[in-house]
Amino acid sequence: MKKENLLLRRSIALLTLCATYSAAEEVGERWGTADRERAYYRIVDVPTPKDVVIEAGAFTALPDDRIAVATRRGDIYFISGIDEAKPQPDYHLFASGLDEIFGLAWKDDALYVTQSCELTRVKDTTNDGRADRFEVVSDAWGYGSYHEYAFGSKFDPEGNLYVALGLSSSYHSRELFRGWAFKITPEGKSIPIASGLRSPGGIGPNEHGALFYIESQGPWNSACSLKFVKEGGFMGHPISFNWYDYAPNMGKAPTAPKSPSNMMVEKERIPELVPYAVVFPYISMGRSITGFVVDQTKGKFGPFEDQMFLGDYTQSLVMRATTELVNGVWQGACYPFREGLSTGILNVQFTPEGRLLCGGTNRGWPVRGLKAFSLERLEWTGLMPFEIQRITITPDGFHIKFTKAVDTATGSNPESYAVTTFTHGYHQGYGGPEIDQATPSVKSVALAKDGLSATIVLDKITLGHVHAFDLGALRSLDKEELLHRNAYYTVNEVPKK
């Protein structure tokens, strides 16, 4: 039986490989901006020893400015020298023998390690530089399949950790609490807080400190998305309803969603259902989004302080996202950032000097990057790119901030602001196309006196739709084109006037 399952998995992987590479050949570069991107954000290789495989699934900063990196193979290394101009870092093996690590956090001289089967406290009690104590903090969930990944957060201000659990497969929850999120308290209590996850890629705070996770395209998810983890909430995939009897704090299972339907309709039927906060248009942006981190480098990484940076596995790139709370509901935008990384990105982490460390692998699913695994860092060159800095919603349009002043001729012209909208079906099928496309009219634009922002008024804002911006007609004061002309804002609510 095991041999038959292995052959089946290899056959599926081979078919996926062929399909993915065909798609990659068609599109070439994802955004076509890699040559321009490197002037502002360079990619620096972080060498690894010849006998060391770093398929980085999780990072955390240590008090002595070293970086802990954990791998899919179950090893944890402490790395020093990560921020040197020409890095030749030292790798110290701290622990091994764990299983597919996708969460690392440090507290009280110990690492808290999220692996598929449990959350483990790992500590060196003899001060010889090697872990010698491995203690179970939580094993409140089941584990029996390679697909049943677990993703862990950093500690929140109250000392809680959070774990997002992948399903047994796209359509099944065969082990306890697969497809759920947990809160692990400082006392070690494991509390189920949300159901309906499918295949998370990371979990942690947004730029405002609210808990979010990455969801992958698949059943009940037509595209990848950022979702707010609401305590007591339902994230959208109903196959994990079978575990509500084991979570009395959550009450009864929600009403099952109808298929086919749409998110706005089902949100009215199902009070617990949490809508996508940021949808990443499939292929155009994320294809398999993974770990994320908030820029709190105080300007060391450029003009994107307090924004989320997210890796993408299949497309070997990094994106940005911003969120805001409107009428009590989270929503926001995503933006291209940097492509051309060497492998599939599993996780990202800022270094003490404000560089973005990116790590991953090509194991399991095919990726655009050519290396089997790599560790690289993105660093700001100090040159200011002309970019869409952030988009927020207004009662009748959007407010758009830029990193450089826009010239009056293009910035004051409504025709410079092209906006289209679309949505996706909410259904049990795998993925789904963009539907209900529309082109709202830009009625007016008000360019700020300093040229650093513009407010546009639309004839219509459509709830439940992604509003896609193409601002390629804009020019800066020194006649530059935008480095990335596109952005995508997901509208769940419109603020009141």
Q: What is the DSSP secondary-structure string of 205-257?
A: E-TTS-EEEEE-SBBTBSSEEEEE--TTEE-S-GGGGGGGGG-GGG-SPPPPP
37 domain residue, yes or no: yes
Cα-Cα end-to-end distance for the chain: 63
DSSP secondary structure, 291-339, as one string = EEEE--STTTT-S-TT-EEEEETTTTEEEEEEEEEETTEEEEEEEEEE-
**Domain check: are 114 and 21 in the same one?**
no
**Domain check: are 100 and 182 in the same one?**
yes
Q: Considering 330, 349, 380, which residue would you say is the last residue of a domain?
A: 380
**Domain check: are 135 and 203 in the same one?**
yes
What is the C-alpha to C-alpha distance for residues 463 and 461, in angstroms, rounded to an integer? Answer: 7
Structure pTM?
0.94
The pLDDT value recorded for residue 356 is 98
268 domain residue, yes or no: yes
**Domain check: are 256 and 353 in the same one?**
yes
**Domain check: are 361 and 396 in the same one?**
no
Nearest one of 284, 289, 330 to 468, comparing CA atoms: 284
**Domain check: are 205 and 314 in the same one?**
yes
**Domain check: are 327 and 448 in the same one?**
no
Report whether 425 contacts 262 (CB < 8 A). yes
99 domain residue, yes or no: yes
Mean pLDDT per block of 10 residues along the chain (497 residues) reads 38 37 43 94 96 96 97 97 96 97 98 97 98 98 94 98 97 98 97 98 98 97 98 98 98 98 97 98 94 98 98 97 98 98 97 98 89 97 98 98 98 98 98 98 98 98 98 98 98 96
**Domain check: are 23 and 131 in the same one?**
no
443 domain residue, yes or no: yes
**Domain check: are 274 and 147 in the same one?**
yes
Residue 443 sits in a domain of what CATH number? 2.60.40.1220
Report whether 287 contacts 315 (CB < 8 A). yes
**Domain check: are 24 and 40 in the same one?**
no
**Domain check: are 18 and 109 in the same one?**
no
**CB-neighbour burial class of residue 395 (10 A; exposed 0-12, middle 13-18, buried 19+):** exposed
Tokens of 58: 């999780």
Number of Cβ within a 10 Å radius of residue 157:
7
Pairing mode of beta strands 118-123, 133-138: antiparallel
Structural domain for 5, as ranges: 1-28
Residue 220 sits in a domain of what CATH number? 2.120.10.30
Total domains, the chain: 3
21 domain residue, yes or no: yes
Query: pLDDT for 147-203, tens place per residue?
Result: 899 999 999 999 999 999 999 999 999 999 999 999 999 999 999 999 999 999 999
496 domain residue, yes or no: no
CA-to-CA dists, residue 65 to 99, 101, 298, 381, angstroms? 25, 21, 17, 22
Query: pLDDT for 329-362, tens place per residue?
Result: 999 999 999 999 999 999 999 999 999 999 999 9
Q: Considering 360, 380, 400, which residue would you say is the last residue of a domain?
A: 380
Q: Considering 380, 408, 428, which residue would you say is the last residue of a domain?
A: 380
Q: How far is CA 24 from the centre of its chain?
A: 21
The pLDDT value recorded for residue 18 is 37
495 domain residue, yes or no: no
Return the CA Rg of the chain.
Answer: 22
User: Quick check: helix, strand or coil at residue 183?
Assistant: strand
What is the C-alpha to C-alpha distance for residues 252 and 197, in angstroms, rounded to an integer? Answer: 17
92 domain residue, yes or no: yes
Pairing mode of beta strands 308-312, 211-215: unpaired
**Domain check: are 372 and 424 in the same one?**
no
Give the list of residues 6+ apart from residue 419 with CB closer than 8 angstroms, or none: 439, 440, 442, 456, 458, 467, 468, 469, 470
